[in-house]
Chains A and B, each alone.
Chain A
Amino acid sequence: MAAPPMVRLKQVSKIYHKRPQPIPALQGVTLEIHRAEFVAVVGPSGCGKSTLLHLMAGIDRSTSGEVWFEDHLLSTMRETGLTRLRREKVGIVYQLYNLLPHLTLWENVALPLLLAGSPADDIRTRVAEVVKALDLTERTDHWPHQLSGGEMQRAAVARAVITRPSLILADEPTGNLDSKAGEAVLRLLRTLNQEGGFTVVLATHSQEAAAFADRVLRLRDGRILE
């Protein structure tokens, strides 16, 4: 029997209630993401990619339909449960890196573990491992504004994987990088997926980026095309 999907969306719609009229961001989306899969969600700006990722991460709630994460129905979970889910099972990488500007690279990477109250020794060991793997050891005491775009994005990836989450959500991670740095980040995600067994969902508008994925979902005007 096939393993149950890690993330499952059934007829999910998300409508932003704005004036003068409501804006539908997602309409009747149904999809499944399986463990250790690398899925790219491709579509132009404003097609609902980020909303889709936010729903999977429990950052946002759907207007209708069901979002399942493993065996949790997210719409029925309370805020504390969703926080724990994000802390333990989801890692997010953003287009603008979203490193906290007043924490050093080391501190940014260690943050999820610090917030989870992990033992100090454990934190030190794991951060050391991850920054080494991502070739950031020399930059741990630097502030975000002292890093290059590629370094900031690698640091963001390091922060996303530090808790060994089941799912990495990458929202346009190459959008703000030059092509070389962008490619390096995509390779990194691919490696994490293939060697680390992480499930990756990549939102992108770029076909080249999508080429790194096992499966591509096309999103337009809030609907899955395939």
Chain B
Amino acid sequence: MIDRTWGFLLLLGRGVQQFPLRATLTVSGIAIGVAAFVAIQLANHSILASFQRTINAVAGRSALVVTAGELGFDETALLKVQATEGVEYAAPLIINIAPVTGRRGEVLLVLGVDLLAEKAFREYRLAGQKEAVDLKMLLQPETLFLSRSFAATHGLAVGETITLLTGSHRRTFIIRGLLEPRGPARALEGHLALMDIATAQAAFDKVGRLDRIDIVLREAAGIDAMAAQLGKVLPTHLTVQRPEQRNRQVEKMLAAFRMNLNALSAISLVVAAFLIYNTLSLSVIHRQQQIGILRSLGVSAGEVVALFVGEALVLGGIGSLVGLGLGTLLASQILETISRTVSQLYSFIRVTHVDADPFTLLAALGLGLSFSLIAALYPSFQAGRVSVRESLNPVLAGKEERGPRALLVVALLFLAGAYWAARQSAVGSTPLFGYLALVLLILGGALLTPWAILGFAWIVRRVGRRMGKGEGLLVASHLRGYQGRHAVAVAAMMTALAMLIGVAIMIGSFRRTVEIWVEETIRADLIVAPASRFTKGVSATLPSDLLGRVRKIPGIAAVDPFTGLRITFRGRQLLLAAGDFQVVAARGRLLFLKGDSGEVLTRARDQEGIIISETTALTHNITRGEQVVLQTPTGPASFPVSGIFYDYTTDGGKIVMDRSLFQRYWGEQGINVLALYLTPEADASAVTGRIKQAADGAAILVMPNQDLKARVLRIFDQTFAVTHALRMIAVIVAALGILNALWASVLERQREIGILRSVGASRAQVFRVILQEAGLLGLLAEILGLIIGLFLALVLIHVINKQSFGWSILFFFPPTILATSAGLVLVTSLLAGFLPALYASRIEVADAIKYE
């Protein structure tokens, strides 16, 4: 038995060793594919873990947490909580994100705490002290504690000052102490400032209000029962939940974003699987004679299958292991880009290092091996079926390959399946059938390639013969003769291209849609906002008297004051906003699914109705005219939906009402943004100057219309930056596939090339034939990729994006994608063809045509 196992391993090792270049190419392809996948997984995981670390670090020992979204709530709720039977301790909190002045891009999570209540919840320790912190040091005005790591990074010391953008003001605080990295000081990867609650309330214009109450219960009290009990005592717009539920909310918030990136990164793995399939198929073809000899020596068909499966697992295993390392390195490169996108789209996040989660790594290794195994099955079974007689006879070995008809039938079935899947609705809010449609489309396209190659070869052959071109004829004959081998390489390239083109069309269409939307809806001449407005998570408002002063500035025809609050609606976060519908109806514009902007807005105002974004309508299945209940500080209230509008600003959805209606239920809230419409003769820069004067030193931004539009598009472009890298990776893996296939076919055709040279083909002719072949394979991949890519784009736009984010995207075909993808294909396939062509042209004729 031992001998047999050794024999098996020896054959396996020699098999891998026999074609070192091919093995290297395959391992590289798998490594890159796995690396792309691992990088995205790890980056996603690290970001989520960082969110959760922050949530858990701040939560401390809390069993329950009371919140009311961004709005906060009246601090009298604290008394009600404390008075509730079963509550041991209750601690009020102010939580804010504040940009740090003079440190570009830096922010701090500012916690305002009740010094007396904190002890039961969280522990703080000052650098250089063994005792718990004496929080009384914070009672001095305008002081804070800073996390030690932040201070070290920025060279700050105790006694020095730090200036924060709190709301629309810049405030300077004295650093009274540095916090060791434990407890809340680890939040946002050590970006924490701790203040007394009164200081924080004053700094963030939240006097008399709280963001949160943390609760520790008496031992006997059941957590869920207490949550229900508190729910009854507190106003209805307050939420009582376990801290870990916040983690789930974050997961939910990021689910669609992560899913899309994961799906995109998995494409590289699929392309790598093609590579394994290709390598194994070529290996089987090249080793026909060896298989024949082995079989004639008594090796069973099953053992031959095991030999090839083993080879795939060895290559897949090495590739996956290398990929894990490479992916971890890559993850740290893309982490910043992805976390920046998450910060801009969802919530401010700071991620400093990759969390090399062993489970993620193991899963990727398992996936790499599984893909290798699946890809290896068919060629391995083919190896098991090799006929001993034919494999040992070189004359019989050169038989014509045929594209099996069954493949065509299966391809068409897959494409029909894709059509069916694309028409199914989402499972929950996950477009599972949409993803299935993508997979079926790619598989269907891949299975069409052998036939497409035959058709292509037929055309090239006809043209070649008609033009009397020997090279064309040879290219055609190779395409036809080796279609089985080439099909896999073309399919891999096609998959990568289809994805590249599909995603590019989707992004292009999305961008164009957003451009149109921006152009149509951003109509105000000037936008006034707190300077910290564009940091996600900051709920800064403008100085309360600014509106009155701005209205008096000459040259301003109308003002639309905008207030936005994050609230929880039917278990999900969304933005509740208020604006002056009269002004927007007259001067601004929203794009409604149905109806004219002015009419819908006027009707909404008259009916005391709300308008909701398309995302909200789709996520919660709300139609126009329906009554929607919102939890207001004054109790639940019902509003009719007057219109549904297109909106691309947030993926959580939006509910908007007229300012007067909003004030009736939510009271006088701060204004976040002023949209100003100027009189025709007004000079924008002069008005800007006067607004800044009116702001009286407050930290505000006055942005011309064009700047805001440009900003929206810039954020859009950043959001998709990572996908560029992912798409390029898939193309690189596919190029390795073409190189692999061409190299193998050149090795296989050495004798043929020798004959060709002996009947008068020059080195240059041989070189050109192989290069043209590479170019044509690339061209075919481009044509197929374009067709399949168009359909992928349709699925991405109308199914996946619609179902996961609820955005309507208009289809646009960006013409540049044709030039870019064709150029890319040409370059990669010619590069992939260059080495094999060079090798082929240098083959020694006498050696190549030897019989032995």
Contacts and interface: CB of A to CB of B under 8 A. Distances in A.
A100 B849 contact: no
A118 B277 CA distance: 42
A86 interface: yes
A102 B477 contact: yes
B253 to A, nearest CB: 57
A60 B395 CA distance: 25
B469 A114 contact: yes
Contacts of B752: 100-101
A94 interface: yes
B473 to A, nearest CB: 6
Contacts of B400: 101-102, 143, 145
B396 to A, nearest CB: 8
B846 A163 contact: no
Contacts of B664: none
A108 B233 CA distance: 93
Nearest to B483: A102
Given A102-B477, A119-B468, A176-B395, A80 B762 contact: yes
Given A96-B851, A114-B468, A120-B467, A83 B757 contact: yes
A95 interface: yes
Interface in B354-411: 394-396, 398-400
Contacts of B758: 57, 59, 86, 92, 98
B466 interface: yes
B755 interface: yes
A145 B473 contact: no
Nearest to A80: B762
Most buried by B among A96, A114, A117: A114
Interface in A76-135: 79-80, 83-84, 86-88, 92, 94-96, 98, 100-103, 107, 110-120, 123
Contacts of A57: 758
A48 interface: no
Nearest to B765: A115
Given A59-B846, A103-B473, A112 B395 contact: no
B763 interface: yes
A116 B396 CA distance: 30
B400 to A, nearest CB: 6
A114 B470 contact: yes
B69 interface: no
Interface residues of A, number: 41
Dominant secondary structure at the A interface: helix
B473 A83 contact: no
Contacts of B426: none
Contact of B470 (A59, A79, A84, A115): A115
B749 to A, nearest CB: 9
Contacts of B222: none
Contacts of B761: 83, 87, 115
Given A54-B846, A102-B478, A103-B473, A86 B398 contact: no
A144 interface: yes
A92 B467 CA distance: 26
Contact of B760 (A51, A87, A120): A87
A205 interface: no
A135 B618 CA distance: 76
A154 interface: no
Most buried by B among A59, A80, A123, A145: A59
A96 B394 CA distance: 9
Interface in B442-484: 465-471, 473-474, 477-478, 480-482
B267 to A, nearest CB: 33
A159 interface: yes
Contact of A59 (B398, B762, B845): B845
Contacts of A54: 845-846
B482 to A, nearest CB: 8
Interface residues of B, number: 38
B275 to A, nearest CB: 25
Interface string B734-766: 000000000000000001100111111111010
A196 B772 CA distance: 38
Nearest to B761: A115
Contact of B759 (A84, A111, A118): A111
A83 B845 CA distance: 11
A113 B470 CA distance: 8
Contacts of B478: 102
Contacts of B851: 95-96
A119 B466 CA distance: 11
A107 B477 contact: yes
Nearest to B764: A80
Interface in A56-79: 57, 59-60, 79
B763 A79 contact: yes
A120 B466 contact: yes
Given A114-B468, A114-B469, A123-B468, A100 B756 contact: yes
A54 B752 CA distance: 16
Contacts of A117: 468, 470
Given A83-B757, A101-B752, A114 B473 contact: yes
Interface in A161-187: 163, 176
Nearest to B478: A102
Given A86-B760, A100-B755, A111 B395 contact: no
A111 B759 CA distance: 8
A101 B480 CA distance: 11
A86 B758 CA distance: 7
A98 B481 contact: no
B182 to A, nearest CB: 69
A57 B762 CA distance: 14
B480 A102 contact: yes
A83 B481 contact: no
Contacts of B849: 59, 94, 98
Contacts of A100: 474, 477, 752, 755-756
B845 A60 contact: yes
A112 B845 contact: no
B762 to A, nearest CB: 4
Most buried by A among B399, B469, B477, B760: B760
A101 B760 contact: no
Contacts of A86: 757-760
Nearest to B756: A100
A136 B467 CA distance: 24
Most buried by B among A94, A100, A113, A119: A100
A21 B765 CA distance: 36
Interface in B647-688: none
Nearest to B842: A79
Contacts of A87: 759-761
Contacts of B480: 102
A115 B759 contact: yes
A95 B851 CA distance: 9
A172 B494 CA distance: 46
B470 A111 contact: yes
A80 to B, nearest CB: 6
Contacts of A83: 757, 760-763
A126 B394 CA distance: 31
A149 B781 CA distance: 38
Contacts of B468: 114, 117-120, 123
A116 B481 contact: no
B760 A103 contact: no
A101 to B, nearest CB: 4
A107 B473 contact: yes
Contacts of B760: 83-84, 86-88, 112, 115-116, 163
A52 to B, nearest CB: 11
Nearest to A14: B846
12 contacts: A54-B846, A60-B846, A80-B763, A83-B757, A96-B851, A101-B399, A111-B474, A112-B759, A114-B468, A115-B765, A145-B396, A145-B400
Given A98-B755, A123-B468, 6 more contacts: A83-B763, A86-B758, A95-B851, A101-B752, A107-B465, A115-B761
8 nearest A-B pairs in the assembled complex, by CB-CB distance: A87-B760, A102-B481, A114-B470, A120-B468, A102-B477, A60-B846, A101-B398, A115-B470
